Amino acid sequence: MDAGAPSRTAEYMALFRALESQRPPGRRLVEDRAAARFLGARLRAVAYAARLPPLRWLIVAYIDRRWPGPRLSGVVRTRVIDDLVRSATGGGCGQLVLLGAGYDTRATRLHEAASTTVFEVDHPATQARKRAALASTPANVRYVPVDFEHDSLTAALADSGFDSRRRTCVVWEGVFSYLTPAAIDLTLSALVELCAPGSLILLTYVDQRALEDPQSQGPAWLAAVRAVGEPFCTGLHPARARAFFAERHLILRHDETTTEAARRLGVAEAATIPRLYRLATLEVENTSARGGARTRLGSASQ
């Protein structure tokens, strides 16, 4: 992303959640009534128009036709992560860390998270824009500005009162693919150092094969993120994911594409989602062992 500017993909994610929230109860995957407040004038007008069901249908059809995949994949991933966060925070994780939080509203939207200390970590430019859009700071939230490429996550979280003795749920949604392999490694090692064993990390990543052969899966999706100045630059081959995370003291508990998750959730259009976007559930190992060989990440240019 442009170093001085807030993330545009984060704003598109807020639009997708705002549009989904306008579907009838029982049919929507996510309800995020606050999402529209983070939209700039143009996207806010789109979300406003979509309050009328025939217009919403047309807007969604236009988005999905022009960029097949990202909207539906985005709301599916948010829904799956919502369910996992509910179960983790309701089941003993006393802290929630949202890495690259963007316009994530889980701190107040999810009933189970409302009594949890939530650390919202994000690039300073995106975080400043989010805070400017909020009337007040939610009581359970601590804002932690961090650039994963340049800053120390360990120091920033420690300075914000992060408690390493408590089991924690970490969400790293829609961020991995925008970072360099070095920043990903630094972030994962900071999490392993900081988080108590048994802590959960919910992470999304892009299948490396889609970056190596951009015509194979979701070419319009890859072109869209490139066009807004936030290209997918780092991927991971799913067959290497278990070893990659194990070398970093993380146990891969579950890994699926958003296409598979959509099918599991009964989404009729699941098959329209290109099979490039993945959701991994990781657990921090219960060991003090460190070191060992490491699998290198692939980048778009390799």
Ligand X SMILES: C[S@@+](CC[C@H](N)C(=O)[O-])C[C@H]1O[C@@H](n2cnc3c(N)ncnc32)[C@H](O)[C@@H]1O
> Binding of ligand X at residue 174 (CB under 6 A)?
yes
Give the 3-state secondary structure of residue 56.
helix
- Check: CB of residue 267 under 8 Å from CB of residue 29: yes
* Cα pseudo-dihedral 282, 288, 290, 294, rounded to 10: -20
> 């959509």: which residue's tokens?
262
Select from 185, 267, 276 the least CA-distant residue to 238.
Answer: 276
Phi first, then psi: give them for residue 275, nearest 5 degrees: -90, 55
Binding characters for ligand X, 10-49, by CB under 6 A (x = yes): x--x------------------------------------
Binding characters for ligand X, 176-215, by CB under 6 A (x = yes): --xx------------------------------------
CB of 173 to ligand X, least distance (A): 4
- Check: CB of residue 7 under 8 Å from CB of residue 123: yes
> Binding of ligand X at residue 1 (CB under 6 A)?
yes
> Binding of ligand X at residue 7 (CB under 6 A)?
yes
Out of 9, 95, 258, 259, name the contact with ligand X by CB under 6 A. 9
The interface region with ligand X, picked from 59-67, 143-151, 195-203, 279-287 by CB under 6 A, is 143-151
Out of 67, 148, 176, 244, name the contact with ligand X by CB under 6 A. 148
- Check: CB of residue 58 under 8 Å from CB of residue 79: no
251 forms beta bridges with 283
CB of 10 to ligand X, least distance (A): 4
Cα(84)–Cα(68) distance, rounded to whole angstroms? 26
Query: Which C-beta is closer to ligand X: that of 178 or that of 277?
Result: 178
Out of 23, 106, 123, 129, name the contact with ligand X by CB under 6 A. 123
Cα(214)–Cα(220) distance, rounded to whole angstroms? 9
Cα(108)–Cα(130) distance, rounded to whole angstroms? 14
Out of 82, 173, 207, 283, name the contact with ligand X by CB under 6 A. 173
Task: Give the residues lining the site for ligand X (CB under 6 A).
Answer: 1, 7, 9-10, 13, 100-102, 104, 122-123, 126, 146-149, 173-175, 178-179
